[in-house]
Amino acid sequence: MDINQISQTLREDAITVVFVNVLLQQIGLPVPAVPTLLLAGSLAATSGSLGQILAAAVVASVIADWIWYLTGKLFGYRVLAGLCKLSINPSSCVSLTEARFIRWGVSSLVVAKFIPGFSTVAPPIAGAMRMNPLGFLLAAAVGSALWAGLALGAGWLLQDAVQSVIVLLDRHASWLLLLVLVLLVSGIGWKLWQKYRFRQLSAVPHITPDELVAALAGAEPPLVLDLRSATMIAETGPIDGTRVAEHDWLLEAVGDWPKERPIVTLCACPEDASAVQAARQLQQAGYSSAKPLKGGYQAWLATRAQRG
């Protein structure tokens, strides 16, 4: 379908097109919604029709957010761990996002739509944390209205410019397709480069669960920093002898711990991503003996089970 056909479809049934597009995008599919909103805003005949399109976008977005909220409420940290595993870049673990969500509170849902990636992660985090449903729906609706309203309003105010761009793009459709493909390949390439770079940086000495158990029983046991998400800790309970920590407050969590004493960082994310990042940060701060736990929380659980 070319751009003229898309424009014609929007003229005939903009409400349905916008609703479906926004719903799919907010569910998590790689379907851009902002260009559709801009185009729909530029094609709206009256302010009344613009309001109806805005309402359709908000309803679709809130439905998607509610689905993610219920998913998080039902499955807790497991759905967050699943989202973390789907990330191409292991260093972008959900636990980092969750810590900031807790710090920002309800306001994070209002701005979530404007932050790539956070829009999909924030609702299941809210559900996993048992956020008040009415408060969640209100915040999600306000955030959706701001996000969709700005795009539709921009299209409405810049009608002539948007239409000129549409004509230009239609004349050079083949070049547009090439540009889209180049941007897509470049984006995937950048993500893969980040993954490769992370793996290079994660080549730091680890400590195995067996070694940790032995060290904890020694004369000078290490300080173990638990970097798991608050949701996971709430569901599975804290680990005895560890200190809960966040990346943004890592040095505060270490406190006055002697720099020559060993520190072990523990997480529950793919490739020990959070633990590796934390260990490297501590090493740079002078804690040269900081090491991530190999296999993270699951390996720690397995080792404890084997030892009875």
Sheet with 223-226, side-by-side order of all strands: 242-244, 223-226, 263-266, 290-292
For the cut 90, the answer to whether the pLDDT of residue 143 exceeds it is yes
Per the structure block, which two tokens stand in for 299?
């390996």
Helices (H), the chain: 3-27, 34-43, 47-75, 77-86, 94-104, 107-111, 118-128, 133-157, 159-171, 173-201, 209-216, 230-236, 250-254, 273-284, 296-306
Is the separation of the CB atoms in 94 and 146 below 8 Å? no
Three-state DSSP state, 199: helix
Mean pLDDT score, 57-73: 93
- Residue closest to 95 by CA, chosen among 290, 244, 295: 244
What is the share, in percent, of the chain residues with pLDDT greater than 70? 73
Three-state DSSP state, 204: coil
Q: pLDDT value at position 1? A: 46
The DSSP bridge partners found for residue 64 are none
Secondary structure (DSSP) of 154-190: HHHHTHHHHHHHHHHHHHTHHHHHHHHHHHHHHHHHH
What pLDDT digit, counting tens, does each position of 99-142 carry? Answer: 667 777 778 888 888 876 677 788 888 888 888 999 999 999 99
How many Å apart are CA 35 and CA 40, to the nearest integer?
8
Q: pLDDT value at position 205? A: 86
Q: pLDDT value at position 262? A: 93
For the cut 60, the answer to whether the pLDDT of residue 89 exceeds it is no
If one compares 10 and 240, the residue with the highest pLDDT of the two is 240
Q: pLDDT value at position 86? A: 57
Is the separation of the CB atoms in 70 and 126 below 8 Å? no
Element spanning 206, H or E? none
What is the share, in percent, of the chain residues with pLDDT greater than 90? 21
If one compares 292 and 95, the residue with the highest pLDDT of the two is 292
Element spanning 264, H or E? strand 263-266
Residues with Cβ < 8 Å from 277, sequence gap 6 or more?
91, 247
